[in-house]
């Protein structure tokens, strides 16, 4: 009887140890699965935020392009053709670089290419102080606004 009791106690102890080890393994696995799920969620969130950040940078670039064109048009309208011409040269270089180096697409690309198409005519008009250049700049400014380049 004493032997049976000892064997029973040993079986209980072994069962408790085995059960504890199994429980610890399950808990570790559960923690690892929760950690993996949390990492996956945070990675997806980081990717979404990174994409949103890129979109916001592109939007700011488009708005700045639009504002710069407005300033050039204002200078030309005030008959400050020299300042307008200098700014226009840098402006068109930056627009061309923006179209080439970024992922500008669709309607925005078409609008910026439309602006670039007027480059030579506008630069020449500003260099010779032609009032028609000021009108063309204002027209381009309004076209970009109506196409939504600055308001997306």
User: Mean per-residue pLDDT for 45-57?
Assistant: 86
Among candidates 93, 73, 70, which has minimal Cα distance to 149? 70
pTM: 0.68
Which residues, at least 6 apart from 16, have a Cβ–Cβ distance to it below 8 Å?
none
The domain limits of the chain are 2-147
Closest C-alpha to 89, from 75, 103, 101, 107 = 75
What contacts 52, CB < 8 A, 6 or more positions away?
Answer: none
Q: Is 148 left (phi over 0), alpha (psi -120 to 50) or beta?
A: left
Could you read off the pLDDT of 106-116 as tens digits, one per residue?
777 788 888 89
- Report the SS3 class of residue 151: coil
pLDDT tens-digit map of 115-127 = 899 999 999 999 9
């Amino acid at each position: 009887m004493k032997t049976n009791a000892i064997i029973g106690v040993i079986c209980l102890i072994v069962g408790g140890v085995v059960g504890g080890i199994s429980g610890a393994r399950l808990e570790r696995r559960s923690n690892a699965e929760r950690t993996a799920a949390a990492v996956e969620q945070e990675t997806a969130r980081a990717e979404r935020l990174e994409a949103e950040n890129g979109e916001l940078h592109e939007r700011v670039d488009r708005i700045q392009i639009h504002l710069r064109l407005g300033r050039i048009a204002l200078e030309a309208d005030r008959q400050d053709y020299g300042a307008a011409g200098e700014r226009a040269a840098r402006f068109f270089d930056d627009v061309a670089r923006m179209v080439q180096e970024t992922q500008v697409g669709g309607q925005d690309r078409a609008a910026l290419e439309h602006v670039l198409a007027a480059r030579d005519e506008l630069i020449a008009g500003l260099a010779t102080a032609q009032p028609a250049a000021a009108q063309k700049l204002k027209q381009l400014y309004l076209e970009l606004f109506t196409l939504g380049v600055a308001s997306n």
